Amino acid sequence: MKALVIEKPNHAVIKDVPYPEPGPGEITVKVERVGICGTDFHIFAGTFLSPYPLIPGHEFSGVVDKVGEGVTAFKPGDRVTADPSLLCGECEYCLSHRGNQCVKWGALGDTTNGAMAEYVKLPAKNAVVIPDSMSFAEAAFVEPVACVVHGMNRLDLKMGDRVILFGAGAMGLQLVQAISRSGASELVVVDVSPGKLQLALELGATRAVLSQELKREDFPRGFDAVVDVTGIPAVIEQAIDYLGPTGKFLQFGVAPANAEIRISPFKLYHKDWTLIGSMAINHTFLPAFDWVKEKRIKLEPLISKVITLEETPEFLAKPKAPDLLKVQIQIA
């Protein structure tokens, strides 16, 4: 079968690899759609936790091709999406609802071969049958939405909170929709792209500001919650400065593994700030699936374009255009 393989940092090729036969308790899925995530760019660049060679792709949907021994919940032809998380289910973190911190944490497309291929193998327990009303494009968005659900659970906004969000990409615009439904009284979105900011306003932001026009004096009270979706250290340092007293800062965007930032420990103490991380998903795939199934989040405006598997190595290697949102790969 054809697959995109990142053989080493900054080097991806399309090549023939063996078909992934399902073992006991596993299914093999014929992939239809795969989303390209910011994490995939980090994997390509060698700034994530991934081994090489690796087939990336953890946001996907498709059709069951084969089922392994003991699998009764699925049959060939079922339309599915899947939680990419690979957890031991036995460590103290798994047993205390902190599975994304599993001591053996792994994920399809991150630590083992994923879905940028014609077929992908996965534990049957991770898959979910999608209804006819859900397109393969929408189903490939369930995993990103699950990240948003986890981030919102971590942020724990209160009615009336004032929020500023940095980064109006595909993930940021999903967060805009979730935050606007959570009771925030004010939601300011900051980005370099006028087009993305206009879409942010349409999806629930109360104010949009170009990055180069942002001024701290325009927001003397600061904000109850600050969210970074860029993962860029310089932006993160700037964003933290917008925290008001007792404010909460959510680091949602993925930064390079070796990145560092500066923060004032006195301000952290004196202003009663709370710093929060949000890594991947944490038992939030099914709530996200329901959000997508019930059309509670607008996803179609977030897809900038669809490319082929053969076009993907070049796409990963090029700088990302500032106006680009989600790019999906059509496999079949």
For residue range 264-294, list pLDDT tens digits in order.
Answer: 999 999 999 999 999 999 999 999 999 999 9
Task: Please determine, for residue 332, whether its predicted confidence score (pLDDT) is greater than 80.
Answer: no
Whether residues 108 and 225 fall in one domain: no
Tokens 């193998």: give the residue: 121
CA atoms of 138 and 247, how far apart (whole Å): 34
Give the model's pLDDT for residue 49: 84
The residue segments making up the domain with residue 14 are 2-141+299-330
Tell me the CB-side half-sphere exposure of residue 232, using CA atoms within 13 A.
8
Is 107 in the same domain as 174?
no
Give mean pLDDT, residues 66-85. Answer: 98
| Residues 152 and 270 grouped into a single domain | yes
Closest-CA residue to 100 (of 143, 53, 140, 129): 143
Calpha distance 102→139 (Å, rounded):
26
What is residue 239's predicted lDDT score, i.e. its pLDDT?
A: 98
Q: How far apart are CA 194 and CA 209, in angstroms?
A: 9
- Asked if residue 8 has pLDDT above 80, the reply is yes
Distances (CA, A) of 298 to 151, 177, 221: 18, 8, 32
All residues at 6 or more sequence positions from 124 whose CB lies less than 8 Å from its CB, including other chains? 25, 26, 27, 67, 68, 71, 73, 74
Whether the predicted pLDDT of 199 surpasses 80: yes
293 in a domain, yes or no? no
Tokens representing 244 are 């008001």
39 is catalytic: yes
Please tell me which residue in 28, 39, 230, 284 is annotated as part of the active site.
39
- Work out how many domains the chain is built from and give that number: 2
Domain-embedded: residue 264:
yes
Domain with residue 167: its CATH number is 3.40.50.720
Task: For residue 68, give the CATH number of its domain.
Answer: 3.90.180.10
In a shared domain, residues 167 and 248: yes
Q: Check 11, 28, 42, 230 and give the catalytic one.
A: 42
How do residues 120-133 score in pLDDT, each as one tens digit?
Answer: 999 999 999 999 99
Burial level of 203, CB count in 10 A (0-12/13-18/19+)? Answer: buried
Please compute the mean of the pLDDT values over residues 306-330 and round it to a whole number: 96
Coil vs helix vs strand at 268: helix
CB crowding 21-44: b at 16 or more within 10 Å, else e: ebeeebbbbbbbbbbbbbbbbbbb
Whether residues 125 and 25 share a domain: the answer is yes
Same-domain pairing of 80 and 174: no
Q: With 90 as the cut, is the pLDDT of residue 31 above it? A: yes
Euclidean distance between CA atoms 308 and 332, whole angstroms: 9
| Tens digit of each residue's pLDDT (9 = 90 or more) over 39-62 | 999 999 998 889 999 999 999 999
Cβ neighbours around 222 below 10 Å, total: 17
Mean pLDDT of 129-158: 98
Query: Is 34 inside a domain boundary?
Result: yes
Paired tokens of 164? 């500023």
Residues 100 and 27 in one domain: yes
In a domain, 287, yes or no: no
Are residue 131 and residue 9 in the same domain, yes or no?
yes
Active site residue 284: no
* C-alpha to C-alpha distance for 206 and 254, rounded to whole angstroms: 25
